[in-house]
Amino acid sequence: MKALFSERLESVPVTRFHYRLLAVLGLGWMFDSMDILMIGYVLAWLGRPDVWGLSQDLALVTISVGLVGLLVGALASGYIADVWGRKRVFQFTLLVYSVFTALSALSPNILVLMALRFIAGIGMGGELPVVSAMLSEFVPGKVRGRFVVLLESFWAYGAVAAALVGYFVIPNLGWQAAMLIGGLPALLVFLIRRTLPESPRYLAMKGLRDEAEMVVRKVEASAGIPSPALPYRTGSAPSPPSLPFRDLLSRIYRRRTLTLWILWFCITFTYYGIFTWLPTALSVELRSITKGFEYVLIITLAQVPGYLSAAYLVEKLGRRPVLSLYLVLSGAFAYLFGTSTSDLTLMATGSMMSFFNLGAWGVLYTYTPEQYPTRARGTGSGAASAVGRVGGILAPLAVRALSANFYSVFLLNASLLALAAFAMLALGEETKGQTLERAAKEAGPGQTDLPTK
């Protein structure tokens, strides 16, 4: 009896293999988060008169330059991952952002730092969409949402690590030490080469049956499931072409693509419009850089339970209701944060804003790769991430224009979060519990998988 590789992967229960895969991919995600957010603390420190005396305008431009790199990386890496493979792109992007973050410690001036942040941003932007797609292609549909949200929860650990570096390392060892710490993920590349397999769905889609068979057998063995007899056909088969970028807007995927683009733009804008600016904003608002960093650390810690709650609810209630609810509540608390008049309400509303905003991110990363077939999963995820990066680039500029009025910054972000929630409710399709093939409306096994005995 013939069975598709995808069907065999769906029938395997969760094992140590899946958790090990989550841990390896999650560590890359954690360091990516730490690197992206750490620059906010570095730039706040470089603004001190006794360091570089960096103006707020130049600090925001530096953040935007890094985000342009993220845009380039997201747009390019998704397509490349559909052509060259998920594992190769993950390794390469991890190495790029690690090396160029470490080199940033040698920057003699802000122009050199900007250039290095741009290149590091290409690596960071390239990693994120590939990692979520790769994990999605291994995990069975009944727990896929929970696993991808748990993957995204590593972002919170990276955010906490960035806050700890900002609070303890930068004031005592200098901003250069923080940049060197950001280079540590390069060591992960050696671990990845030894332990991380290529996605069998990708291998099957490329016609590499033997390689896909070996990976699927490894997954089955981890659960003690006997593999079927060897396939009656071996070797490679012609692979279907990767889906052209323009086909993301074809009739079958247009609604999904536009929904994702609205979600990604709004959520990314609000994230970078709030959290990369927060160390500087609170340092000014509280008239103390140390106290500002301390408050950001407390607010950041709320991200962890936010992710965990979303990981639980995403398989209970579904993607559509959880994402919409978390977006609305994040926007509501962003508005209240902007109107806070005391330290207590500032911390309380900021923590709840952080809780729901990052929980929403976890669901978004679950939902995105489910919208496209295997041959376009990287391209579609990368394109959505790239649209989001446009929002991320614009966010610091909008913040600068509105920064004289603390309240107006958070009113803008609350409005965009409400728009994202409306788009999900009006246009989003529920994919809870579905296989990747069914969720993405794949046209048939010839496009995505190959049969084995």
* Residue 116 included in any domain: yes
pLDDT, one tens digit per residue, over 182-207 is: 888 888 877 787 788 999 988 988 88
Q: What secondary structure does DSSP assign to 104-160, as a single string?
A: GGG-SSHHHHHHHHHHHHHHHHHHHHHHHHHHHTTS-HHHHHHHHHHHHHHHHHHHH
Angle at 148 between CA 70 and CA 24, to 5 degrees: 75
Distance in Å from the first CA to the final CA of the chain: 6
- How many domains does the structure of the chain reveal? 1
Higher pLDDT, 351 or 399: 351
- 434 closest CA partner among 369, 379, 380, 381: 369
Per-residue three-class SS string for 278-333: HHHHHHHHCCCHHHHHHHHHHHHHCHHHHHHHHHHHHHHCCHHHHHHHHHHHHHHH
Q: Residue 233 pLDDT > 80, yes or no?
A: no
DSSP alpha helices (H): ranges in 12-55? 16-46
Residue 231: per-residue pLDDT: 53
* Residue 441 included in any domain: no
pLDDT, one tens digit per residue, over 314-369 is: 999 999 999 999 999 999 999 998 888 887 888 899 899 999 999 999 999 899 98
Which segment of 34-43, 226-235, 357-366, 372-381 scores lowest on mean pLDDT?
226-235
pLDDT, one tens digit per residue, over 150-185 is: 998 898 888 888 888 988 899 899 999 999 998 888
* Residue 166 included in any domain: yes
* Distance between CA atoms of residues 180 and 292, nearest Å: 23
* Distance between CA atoms of residues 69 and 390, nearest Å: 11
pLDDT, one tens digit per residue, over 46-93 is: 988 888 998 878 887 888 888 889 889 888 888 888 888 889 888 899
DSSP alpha helices (H): ranges in 339-405? 343-367, 377-402
Residue ranges making up the domain that contains 323: 3-212+251-430
* Residue 218 included in any domain: no
* Residue 230 included in any domain: no
Residue 284: per-residue pLDDT: 66
* Residue 135 included in any domain: yes
Residue 225: per-residue pLDDT: 87
Count of other CB atoms within 10 angstroms of residue 171: 14
CATH number of the domain enclosing 16: 1.20.1250.20
pTM of the model: 0.80
What is the mean predicted confidence (pLDDT) over 297-307? 87
* Residue 62 included in any domain: yes
Q: How confident is the model at residue 289 (pLDDT cuts 50, 70, 90)?
A: low
* Residue 226 included in any domain: no
What is the mean predicted confidence (pLDDT) over 93-99? 91
